[in-house]
Amino acid sequence: MIFLTFNPYGFNLNLPRFGVDREEKALRGKYKFAIMAPFSKISTELTMNAIFRKIVVIAFLFIFVPLFASTLWGFPPAAKPRISVLATGGTIAGAAPVATQTIGYQAAELPVGEVLASVPDLGRIADIHGEQVVQIARENMNPDIWMRIARRCDDLLSRDNADGIVITQGTDTLEETAYFLNLTLKSRKPVVLVGAMRPATALSADGSLNLYNAVATAASPLTRGQGVLVVMNDMVNAAREVTKTSTFSVETFRSPDLGALGYIKSGRVHLYRGPSRRHTTDTPFYLKNIEKLPKIEILYGYAGSGTAAVEAAVKAGVAGIVYAATGNGSLPEAAKAALAAASKKGVFVVRSSRTGSGMVARNGEVNDDALGFVAADNLNPQKARILLMLALTATQDAKVIQQYFDTY
């Protein structure tokens, strides 16, 4: 029998003494000798041969036995994370006839298999499964496709053999897809959106490294429970906070108000904070209860803006209007009167801002309480539209909708 006992200097290993001479047995006692005692304590009692025997026994017990057990009993080595890559097209799958062409190229040309094959190192960090959900250019993304992507994600995330998801998409509407999923997916497993600003055929194409970093992020245990993430240009951003800020720069995705969550360096994820608001499993929006999303239009405020756009939207039968107002959601008198009239007809009105950052304060520039309006907090107009869409599938109460904007 082999067992351990502890003493003031460390612990003792008790084991049968095969081939131990009588002199040593008299010194150490039957079947017992200290293996972790200070060397000065054992030097007067044990010969160098005894010390060597102890080292061999320890190596056998703690190194070779586990190794043999793994081989004999079939214990598998540590498995790599299983990541599904859902492709939707976009610039990351784009191609051009010459390597210097970074505008006027054909987006959504390459199928998911070719996109994955361009990054052979993906197999070192994860077991990859690729799937082509749709093949569209970035401008053709729409709510029906969001629903399709979300349902496919829910299906994959519910399985034990899926550890995370990466979605490749065109960058123009990537932040909107990310926020929609952030509000509707019901899993703590990582979901990461990624794209590219240069087609796959371009010199210094950014898609391959972006995709590698996205898979590394989805495979990292640090990103579990962090909501839907966007990975571009070595940065990790939260879906709610990130936005596209440049028409051409690879550094286009930023979080203007709060900054990035972290970085990816050499395939390693470094996070410094979490997302600012509730998401995924902590929202009241369930896809199983949604057949069709309500129609919401975004109207743009400017100097001298009038009533025509608001009246046209109401006539078209919209369920809600997000008004991208100037400054802190300020409204010209004519536009304010038209929006107030729309609100009385049952059209929900959300005041957002065209500025690109900062919050729209409730009852700041206008009396939202009196007019029945909702303030968008710091959501930009395109994300305010998404939250209003989903909010109207759960409630028709403007006060509850305001709580949603303050929470999600």
Place of tokens 């990130």: 242
Mapping DSSP to helix (H, G, I), strand (E, B) and coil, where does residue 310 land? helix
CB atoms within 10 A of CB 18: 7
Instruction: Quote the longest CA-to-CA distance of the chain.
Output: 106
Contacts with 320 (C-beta within 8 Å, 6 or more apart), sequence order: 294, 296, 297, 347, 348, 349, 350, 388, 389, 392
Return the closest-CA partner of residue 125 out of 269, 238, 239.
269
- The candidate with the shortest Cα–Cα distance to 382, out of 358, 362, 352, is 352
Block residue for tokens 């429970």? 225
Q: Would you list the DSSP string of 128-160?
A: EEEEEEEEE-GGG--HHHHHHHHHHHHHHHTST
CA–CA gap between residue 74 and residue 371 (Å, rounded) = 69
Residue 393 makes CB contacts below 8 A (sequence gap 6+) with 285, 289, 290, 293, 294
71, 88, 91, 201: the catalytic one is 91
Rounded to the nearest 10 degrees, the angle between the axes of helix 333-344 and helix 308-315 is 20
* Catalytic residue check, 91: yes
324-357 per-residue burial string, b: 16 or more CB within 10 A, e: under 16 = bbbebbbbbeebbebbbebbeeebbbbbbbbeee
Amino acid code (one letter) for 340: A
**Residue numbers annotated as active site:** 91
